Structure 1
């Protein structure tokens, strides 16, 4: 009972000022912020630094409204430095005396949010300056280590891993992400675990290690089931799932994942990420339709000798959502679909040249369009050599409009893969095609008998070995 009275006396003097008094107290800060917003970027810098330092006050103010104004000033200062291309000054501010004085007087959660927001602003304004982004992250990590801010360091390391991934420095990225995951599993930080496992999946996929990419994605989904995941992160997970299924050739499942991601991104009006998802959806439709047509042709069914296959993606493009994203990216996919429908290799190559940036810059689309080109080349070659038992390679080259060495290499590959039976007579420059002979059922049954006898003998040997061991 005696201790209650002194506590009451201590709380009274630190009570928050009235609303009118607080507004009057930060009026000069608001005037500085308004003054800076009306000036060019290079002239904003000294005013914003003066605002953050709070030079006009005898003692720097860190009330709720003062901190809010200074926080916005930090973001404006970051944008100003990026506008005048003085990226190193962003690092100097974050790790220097001005930034340190401000960060030391705000709580750790707000400090972490502010640093991450500054990083996001830099990455969004200058996405091509990856070396500068890496330098900023490394400097911030050093600062967090000295200040012993573990959670903030882990967040920045996750960002650094994504930057190393964009730089295609996969060895450093996977080393960093593995070390980070070991720490996160001890702390059980589910939110960051989801992001880290997703980045791990992307790195392994870039290294063409699909099983590990799939395992990392499963771990990311497992962690995501235990927490609330933002729509943008869920869209990234669905996009990665679609990417892996596309790599495995399951185009229908991949299309459904890309559709889920596209709908979420469309609701958020995230055009930059929604367009690639729409392109992936059309790619899956094109590949699935062409594969069905080629399988039907290989079986000799209806349309086996047809020069066209139905590849219709107009429904996705002309829909309510698709029309909103009309542009060269969508035109490129439509052109690919038309060339694939006609099975015209020449038209297909013309499309790749015309829309090179839209089709070749994306690794997923580039890889599968190369596979599509190989399929079109094979189907065209099979259609050309089908009527012949012996044909000159130069004649095939003229018909398909590809150089003789490339035709020879592709035909030899198709023979080795069992696409048709024949030999290349390079001395005469001819391709000799054999008729498909009936399978020798007697030889196949003989091979089965030999395999069964081998299994029996092996089993008897193991049993005799076990008996000898028991007798000894």
Structure 2
């Protein structure tokens, strides 16, 4: 089959569009076999088979090739090797713009394989060259990659700085919807980490719309997951139903992580810690596949534990710590530590009696504004009285 297709490419009477289609069909067959080494060899020897092929058409074919490749954790190593070979070939052939485009794709592959430091090391030189050629789209893309890499290595200040660079450049130049969606997605993630879930949800909505418009379904699904998560965290569960009825979200309803998040939403709304814990344990593999979702669900777990403790102590003025621990299924030391933190955070208005091992609740919190006003009046009286006596 491949030899027949190569025959079509060699035939000088074949029209250019048919030759291009034949080359792409060869790539499709090789991709299905997982033979990325042969794909590289085919591209490098393409001019021998197709004598009058132009550089723009080669560039177009390579771009179409990488749109055909299924990006998954299983084949990223092979894709990275292919890109390394093609970058070296483009450099030898003095195809500068093509080489830079391939360098950007290589950086993306490095990110996907978790080689963040290596990706960051390559971004600087490539960005410097892109500025010379005024290639703003690839430059915006690089800033987005840089932001992601810094975020993964926990350098939050630099990740935000890179994202700001991408956002500023996107305003001054044409930015494709799917690229703007990546900027919006990262913006939402960083704002979520600051616990500002209401604002973050608006960015996730923009990202969802951008990826849907760009027909990037996997990324759109991730945006929807994060949107649902932000609604749960912002305690706006009723808005999730509205989101799920949207036409653009219907195709993602079967996503397993989305179903998990909807179960989490129900448990959180009912302050049901046991149900929440069961969901986390049952779907542990799916949850841990996304570190962002995992970290925020852990934070939500802490909030739910707080809610459950408050729910238990509400009817009492004095309650034994061991009773709270027994109801929730935790050790006494864990609950005591949690109560101490809640008292310091003013979530609970009470004191711990270490002798009787109980929590003494002090009723309603004092009106601090009234106390402050009283202190002001006392100080004012003191200023009047002190000089006279």
TM-score clears 0.5: yes
TM-score between both structures, scaled by the size of structure 1: 0.69
Q: Does 1:323 align with 2:270?
A: no
- Choose from 264, 267, 272 the match for 1:339: 267
Q: Does 1:151 align with 2:97?
A: yes
1:404/1:149 CA distance change after superposition, 3 Å: farther
Aligned to 1:180: 126
* Contact 2:177 2:213 (8 Å CA) reproduced: no
1:430/1:104 CA distance change after superposition, 3 Å: farther
- Choose from 395, 402, 417 the match for 2:323: 395
* Contact 2:321 2:359 (8 Å CA) reproduced: no
Aligned to 1:111: 58
1:51/1:358 CA distance change after superposition, 3 Å: same
Specify the SS of the correspondent of 2:195: coil
Aligned to 2:3: 46
1:103/1:245 CA distance change after superposition, 3 Å: farther
Q: Flag the structure with more relative contact order, 1 or 2, with Cα contacts below 8 A and sequence separation at least 6.
A: 2
1:158/1:268 CA distance change after superposition, 3 Å: closer
Query: CA RMSD for the aligned pairs?
Result: 3.1
Cα distance, 1:104 vs. partner? Answer: 6.8
Aligned equivalents of 1:329 and 1:218: distance in 2? 30
* Contact 1:311 1:338 (8 Å CA) reproduced: no
Aligned equivalents of 1:224 and 1:103: distance in 2? 38
Correspondence 1:49-448 to 2 at 5 A: 49-52=6-9, 54=10, 61=12, 66-95=15-44, 98-102=45-49, 105-124=52-71, 128-289=74-235, 311-327=238-254, 328-385=256-313, 391-404=319-332, 406-414=334-342, 419-420=347-348, 422=351, 425=354, 430-433=357-360, 435=362
Equivalenced residues, count = 369
User: For the pair shown, which has the larger CA radius of gyration, 1 or 2?
Assistant: 1
Aligned equivalents of 2:49 and 2:253: distance in 1? 46
TM-score between both structures, scaled by the size of structure 2: 0.82
Aligned equivalents of 2:320 and 2:7: distance in 1? 81
1:268/1:174 CA distance change after superposition, 3 Å: closer
Gaps of 5+ in 1: 1-43, 291-309, 446-472
Aligned equivalents of 2:179 and 2:19: distance in 1? 29
Q: Deviations over 1:149-183 (max 9, x none)?
A: 22112111111111111112211111111222222
Cα distance, 1:422 vs. partner? Answer: 4.3
Cα distance, 1:411 vs. partner? Answer: 4.0
1:407/1:134 CA distance change after superposition, 3 Å: farther
Specify the SS of the correspondent of 1:289: coil
Gaps of 5+ in 2: 377-389
